Amino acid sequence: MIMEEKTNNVAIDGPAGTGKSTVSKLLAKKLGFLMFDTGATYRAVSYGCIECKTDLTDEAACTEIARKVTVEINKESGEQRVFFDGKDCTPYIRSPEVTKAVSQVATKPAVRSVMVNLQKATTACGGFVAEGRDIGTVVFPNAKCKFYLDASLEIRTQRRLKQMQEDATYQLSSSSTPKEPTEKEIADLRETIALRDEADKKRAVGPLVAAPDAIVIDTGSFTIDQTVEELYKICVTKLDIKSE
């Protein structure tokens, strides 16, 4: 049975470091919707692969891992948790090891097929702001509101670096004392983001690309609040909902 897509879902795509997660959370709250970080599902698969010492080049093995991933979104708090084989792996999916692995795992067609089905099932009731890299083209192809956020590689590297410094799950070092990143760590982070961009754009299934009807916004030119306000105004019009 094919699930009918709810057109009131909002699709937000774009490469890493464009502010998708923060913008999606704030926009969802402003609209009274739930936010869904689809990238977390691929990170959960990558976490599972690392835990099980799975060969990342083995698509069949990675796909078996993907089938053990589940997601829960609390409708009251809006909190999203991802699980691998019943274990809540949310606190571990932003580690450098998972970040490096996800660029390999997420390119596999069979893994993506399993995850897209999971994402569609999770958002079947409608009223979601989902962010990722193929939301407007694959997950919500009929959504009335589609956005593609972008920014330069340097801006995105600095944003991700700031995020890693502020969040314990993003720490560049295993040391309990936060430290300033070295030039090499910054260069490595920049390269990781660039390689992820390339892998996402060149993959055969669900490549990173702006949907033909998506509104493209360069977030490097706006603050987070300005970006959210711009998207909100568009959503109010396209979804025909009452503004605040």
pLDDT in tens, 172-205: 444 455 567 788 888 988 998 898 888 888 888 8
Residue 128: pLDDT band with limits 50, 70, 90: very high
Burial letters for 124-140: b for 16+ Cβ neighbours within 10 Å, e otherwise? eeebbbbbbbbbbbbbb
Q: How confident is the model over 130-187, as pLDDT tens digits?
A: 999 999 999 999 999 999 999 999 999 988 888 777 765 444 444 455 567 788 888 9
Domain span including residue 114: 10-229
Q: Do 185 and 160 meet the contact criterion of CB atoms below 8 Å apart?
A: no
In a domain, 242, yes or no: no
pLDDT at residue 4, rounded to an integer = 59
Judge whether 236 lies within some domain.
no
Compute the average pLDDT of residues 86-110: 92
Q: What is the pLDDT of residue 61?
A: 98
Task: Check residue 71 and report its DSSP letter.
Answer: E
Q: How confident is the model at residue 38 (pLDDT cuts 50, 70, 90)?
A: very high
For 55, 164, 244, the CA distances from 101, given in Å and listed in that order, are: 11, 17, 42
> Model-level pTM?
0.86
Tokens coding 238: 């396209």
Give dist(CA 192, CA 152) in Å, integer. Answer: 14
- Flag whether pLDDT at 233 surpasses 70: yes
CATH number at residue 165: 3.40.50.300
User: What's the mean pLDDT in 221-232?
Assistant: 94
Per-residue model confidence (pLDDT) at position 178: 57
Do the domain assignments include residue 222? yes
Q: Is residue 238 part of a domain?
A: no
Tally the domains of the chain: 1
pLDDT given at position 240: 83
- Evaluate if residue 232 carries a pLDDT over 80: yes
CA–CA gap between residue 89 and residue 74 (Å, rounded): 16
Beta-strand pair 10-13/145-150: parallel
pLDDT band at 72 (very low <50, low <70, confident <90, very high): very high
- On average, the pLDDT of the chain sits at 89
Confirm whether 237 is domain-assigned. no
For residue 243, tell me if it sits in a domain.
no
The DSSP string of 101-112 is HHHHHTT-HHHH
CB atoms within 10 A of CB 184: 8
Dihedral in degrees, nearest 10, Cα atoms 30, 33, 35, 38: -140
3-state secondary structure (DSSP) of residue 60: helix
In a domain, 241, yes or no: no
**Residue 234 falls within a domain, yes or no?**
no
What integer pLDDT is reported at residue 16 of this predicted model?
86
241 pLDDT higher than 90? no
- Euclidean distance between CA atoms 34 and 49, whole angstroms: 28
Phi, psi of 210 (to 5 degrees): -75, 130
Residue pair 116/109 in contact (Cβ under 8 Å)? The answer is: no
